[in-house]
A and B are shown apart, each in its own frame.
Chain A
Amino acid sequence: MNKMNQRLNFTHLDALESEAIHIMREVAAECTNPVLLFSGGKDSVVLLRLAEKAFRPSHFPFPLMHIDTGHNFPEVIEFRDYRAKNLGERLIVRSMEDSIQRGRVVLRSEGQSRNPFQSITLLDAIEEFGFDACIGGARRDEEKARAKERIFSFRDEFGQWDPKNQRPELWSLYNTRTHPGENIRVFPISNWTELDIWEYIGREQLEIPSIYYAHEREVIVRDNSLVPVSYLVQPKAGEHVQNIMVRFRTVGDMSCTCPVASHARNVEEIIAETALTRITERGATRMDDQTSEASMELRKREGYF
């Protein structure tokens, strides 16, 4: 009777969870010097819980790392530090500000989105520490190019992804081999959707940054998007600032990440909204992904996550 109950309880989330744990353990066992990319965003929060399930009672066999664009929401940075400390795991932060100081990144203007330049700081950090595998929270349902990316995604010594020359990936036999200087991006939650993430956050009662929940915020309506007002974004002539209830579906660069109007104050209400939502996560919230139909693919080719 006991067993029957267990079997009936094995849900699609359990299947996805078990797959992700298996992937993380393969990375730990086969890669020499892996790192987990932790931004404080909801997908990487899920990654941390999966890492706990994969490796406790031991410490994680890899450090956490965040590439700080300097354009992050302060609530997210605060949460990032709190969560890493709380877990007792080592957090490495490398900032784009340093890359700018050193002349590695050259921006046209202060308010410009920093997302495309993260790759430079990331690649520099990979070289600095000699990481051969970066575990990230990307999902295939986010975007067309990602839909074709492997779980173990090989990058050459320039950090480039070659979509036409990917290693075949069969069963759950992952090829983790690299030459010196090359590395692998690993996406344990490739097969999760936005809804799966929220259901998992609800089920595991995971803490997430407060801006994922509905709150009052000053925004400007610009091209059907709600653009958050900050020191980076100020109203142009003719635009007026509104104070409305919003929540963020993704938490990236402050200059180009837009919230959606929402009254969802807890995970259950977000799940209800997500199940009904008619716009993709990136379509709704990332202005930089809309510039061309192929924009994510181009960024990935250049070394983006």
Chain B
Amino acid sequence: MNGAQDLGGQHGMGPVAPETDEPYFHAEWEKRALGLTLSCGAFGAWNIDESRHARESLPPATYLSASYYEIWTRGLEILLKRHGFVSAAELAAGHMLEKGREPKRILTADMVAGVLAKGGPCDRPVPDGPRFAAGDRVRTKNFNPETHTRLPRYARAKQGIVEAVQGSFVFPDDNAHGKGENPQWVYTVVFDAGEIWGEGADPALTVSIDAWESYLERI
């Protein structure tokens, strides 16, 4: 979706302002927000693509003015309500009002080390070989779905070169919406800055994205 999350090339966002000796957390609630997000992810009720889509679906003004842990918290509330684990009334009241859905799994302290060490690999086998090879010239598709996609706006309808075949992975555009994992080959595609940004682009700059096969057309 063309939401506030798709930031590449936007102007007016201000200086980067790196912080010296930045702490991992700037408030206690940020620690709890991280832990809650990971704990609820362990329910197995949604996947990482649906989580990303919940966050990017926040109203743009909210998204752009929120810290990242606030974005995570708001996204988590959406997912918990959507999947029937908590109600809006409970979030407003701050305590349990009714019994909700039971998750497949509840993350307990003894499970944390194992779950974090295992992670969530999302490479999957596909029946056919890759359509493109390193060195192929390709054009990215032009589309503007209201649903989840990982093809940023700045890289749509642009010509580039396949640099590497990276393996086959879950297709987020489908997986975010409960349409299945439908894995596809993923390629690193490199663009000259001039192709993306046109006049005035840095001639010594190239930018790459990692693109699912259906994002690409052969030239």
Same complex for A and B? Answer: no
**B residues in contact (CB < 8 Å) with A:** none
A interface list, Cβ under 8 A from B: none
